[in-house]
Amino acid sequence: MDVRQLLENTLPGLGYELVDCELTPGGGIRVFMDKQGGVTVEDCVTVSNHMTRLFMVENIDYSRLEVSSPGLDRPLKKEADFVRFAGQLAKLRTRLPVDGQKKFTGRLAGVENGVLSLEVEGRMVAIELTNIDKARLEPEF
């Protein structure tokens, strides 16, 4: 079974959202999860213990399992992420240039029909979600 699919099917039942997972070069699995109100160390321990048993049952071979929160600069992967964090500052990179540039920092202003509205220096920039290569929240202090 695909590890990502297994995580997407399992974590919501435990009360968590899968933000991302990575397979590391040495055969490890890195899981980034979130929940309303944030993730605690105890949450990471709970999920780590559960996933260790589940991977054993599913016969998934790995050398190391890392479970953590996505951090303050959380990656934005799904359309729902861009909607959920509307109003927050984000940095993103596009695959193809938009208005002559590929790197943007601006406020998430919403998504409609697969197009993100991003407020950049007082102007709105429309970016198709399929054109976004990488996006992260930009922490504000």
Q: Domain holding 94: CATH number? A: 2.30.30.180
Summary count for the chain: helices (H), strands (E): 3, 8
Q: Quote the number of domains for the chain.
A: 2
55 lies in the same domain as 102? no
The answer to pTM > 0.85 is: no
- What pLDDT, on the 0 to 100 scale, is given for residue 41? 96
User: In angstroms, what CA-CA distances link 121 with 20, 45, 100, 113, 140?
Assistant: 30, 42, 15, 23, 16
Kindly report, residue by residue over 47-77, the tens digit of the pLDDT.
999 999 999 999 999 999 999 999 999 999 9
Q: Check whether residue 58 and residue 83 sit in a common domain.
A: no
* Spatial strand order in the sheet of 65-68: 17-23, 29-34, 65-68
Residue type, 86: A
